[in-house]
């Protein structure tokens, strides 16, 4: 195994600063003692800034997928109907989660590389009538598509008496999603994306409406039992043993984010993604996403004819120490994805574009 830190231009995990890495070396402490309560209360406060909320927040010791499962298991009961826009791998998974929980997922599908329109969502909701929840993936990591209508979709869900859940795992921090203002009932993000901490934690905001609902109708999960996390969270604890080193790192990464300034971090993602899209276009490459729905955090690009995905990424890693991701599902082998997240800066972007351009000139396989 290489012990060298490569430049991680993945759609997560992403580069973590030395300062955040070193925070993991802080002392082992009792998670039922004052030191942990102080740590977790700090994390809660900073997480509220991230979600721009006065409401509740939770940190699960799980990946982002665990956070999504938590949202589904807490809101969906057998027989419930949810509307799920499906336009990539992660939104398809969300629809499956709803079905696993005994609900019906009404899928509003669009081709990979696009997103369903707000009108199509509206029609689906009207048709269903009694919608329990809208589950919206904001940013499809698999295709580099971000929907431009989170606020409007949440308003629509509210008008139908439905909960609005937004999977912002690969976007929050690169985008602002003010959950109180926009009426997001549960918003989910991961530690290892725009927050630039190591992987292993899921961050959630929880609206008052969800709290009230769960008081009357508690969920059937324990590990992801939101009311239990809120109860423990009110005194600065988690119900189950927290992944302590990751909490230390998250605390430091959130401090780093707030020191930079939330608005500035979002702007930086605007700027860096614009440079990346410009750069790949100048190489004559075609982005997967149509221009109106291009993600700022994942730049997915079709390979030119004849480029071998595995050979390209291997050369990029071996010769340039830069790691990018391949394509998902129908795009496997046809697409590469550059992450534009967290610590991304002009130097990283420049290095990446130069290395991609050089590597694409490789002799093609016969």
Binding footprint of a copy of itself on the chain (CB under 8 A): 1-6, 8, 10, 12-16, 21-22, 24-33, 35, 38-39, 61-66, 69, 93, 96-97, 100-102, 190, 192, 198-201, 220-224, 239-246, 249, 317, 323, 325-326
Of the two residues 3 and 263, which places its CB atom closer to a copy of itself in the complex? 3
> In Å, what is the CA distance from 50 to each residue of 70, 156, 244, 261, 314?
20, 24, 20, 10, 35
Integer Cα distance of 314 and 141 in angstroms: 21
Of the two residues 76 and 349, which places its CB atom closer to a copy of itself in the complex? 76
Q: Which residues pair with 202 in a beta bridge?
A: 60, 190
Smallest gap from residue 322 Cβ to a copy of itself (A): 11
Q: Is the peptide bond before 13 cis (omega within 30 degrees of 0)?
A: yes
Of the two residues 30 and 54, which places its CB atom closer to a copy of itself in the complex? 30
Of the two residues 125 and 250, which places its CB atom closer to a copy of itself in the complex? 250
Helices and strands in the chain: count of H runs, count of E runs: 13, 14
Q: Provide the terminal-to-terminal Cα distance of the chain, rounded to the nearest Å.
A: 31
Ranges of H-type helices in 101-185:
118-128, 150-159, 179-182
Smallest gap from residue 254 Cβ to a copy of itself (A): 15
Smallest gap from residue 246 Cβ to a copy of itself (A): 6
Of the two residues 56 and 251, which places its CB atom closer to a copy of itself in the complex? 251
- Compute φ and ψ for 19, nearest 5 degrees: -60, -45
Q: By CB neighbour count within 10 A (0-12 exposed, 13-18 middle, 19+ buried), where does 232 fall?
A: middle
Smallest gap from residue 199 Cβ to a copy of itself (A): 5
Smallest gap from residue 127 Cβ to a copy of itself (A): 27
Integer Cα distance of 43 and 250 in angstroms: 7
Smallest gap from residue 4 Cβ to a copy of itself (A): 7
| CB-CB contact of 96 with 65 (8 Å) | no
> Do strands 104-109 and 81-86 pair parallel, antiparallel, or not at all (unpaired)?
parallel
Of the two residues 160 and 251, which places its CB atom closer to a copy of itself in the complex? 251
Of the two residues 61 and 110, which places its CB atom closer to a copy of itself in the complex? 61
Count CA atoms within 13 Å of residue 35 on its CB side: 9
Smallest gap from residue 325 Cβ to a copy of itself (A): 7
């Amino acid at each position: 195994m290489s012990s060298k830190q490569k430049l991680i231009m993945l759609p997560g995990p992403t580069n973590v600063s030395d300062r955040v890495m070193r925070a993991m070396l802080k002392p082992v402490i009792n998670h039922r003692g004052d030191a942990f309560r102080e740590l977790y209360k700090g994390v809660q406060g900073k997480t509220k800034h991230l979600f721009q909320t006065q409401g509740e927040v939770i940190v699960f010791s799980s990946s982002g997928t665990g956070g999504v499962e938590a949202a589904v298991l807490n809101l969906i009961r057998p027989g419930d109907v949810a509307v799920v826009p499906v336009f990539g791998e992660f939104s398809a998974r969300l629809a499956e989660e709803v079905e696993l929980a005994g609900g019906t997922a009404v899928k509003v599908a669009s081709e990979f590389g696009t997103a369903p329109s707000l009108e199509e969502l509206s029609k689906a909701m009207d048709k269903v009538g009694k919608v329990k929840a809208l589950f919206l993936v904001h940013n499809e990591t698999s295709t580099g598509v971000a929907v431009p209508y989170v606020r409007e979709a949440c308003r629509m869900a509210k008008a139908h008496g439905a909960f609005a859940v937004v999977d912002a795992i690969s976007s929050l921090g690169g985008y602002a999603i003010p959950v109180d203002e926009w009426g997001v009932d549960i918003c989910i993000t991961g530690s290892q994306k725009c927050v630039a901490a190591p992987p292993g934690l899921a961050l959630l905001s929880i609206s008052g409406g969800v709290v009230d609902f769960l008081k009357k109708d508690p969920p059937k999960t324990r590990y992801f039992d939101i009311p239990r996390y809120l109860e423990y969270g009110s005194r600065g604890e988690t119900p189950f043993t927290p992944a302590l080193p990751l909490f230390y790192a998250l605390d430091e990464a959130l401090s780093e984010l707030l020191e930079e300034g939330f608005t500035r971090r979002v702007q930086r993602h605007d700027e860096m993604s614009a440079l990346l899209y410009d750069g790949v276009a100048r190489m004559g490459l075609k982005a997967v996403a149509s221009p109106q729905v291009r993600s700022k955090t994942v730049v997915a690009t079709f390979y030119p004819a004849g480029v071998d995905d595995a050979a390209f990424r291997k050369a990029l890693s071996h010769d340039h120490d830069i790691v990018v991701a391949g394509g998902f599902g129908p795009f496997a082998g046809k697409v590469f994805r550059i992450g534009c997240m967290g610590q991304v800066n002009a130097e990283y972007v420049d290095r990446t574009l130069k290395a991609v351009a050089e590597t694409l000139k490789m002799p093609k396989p016969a």
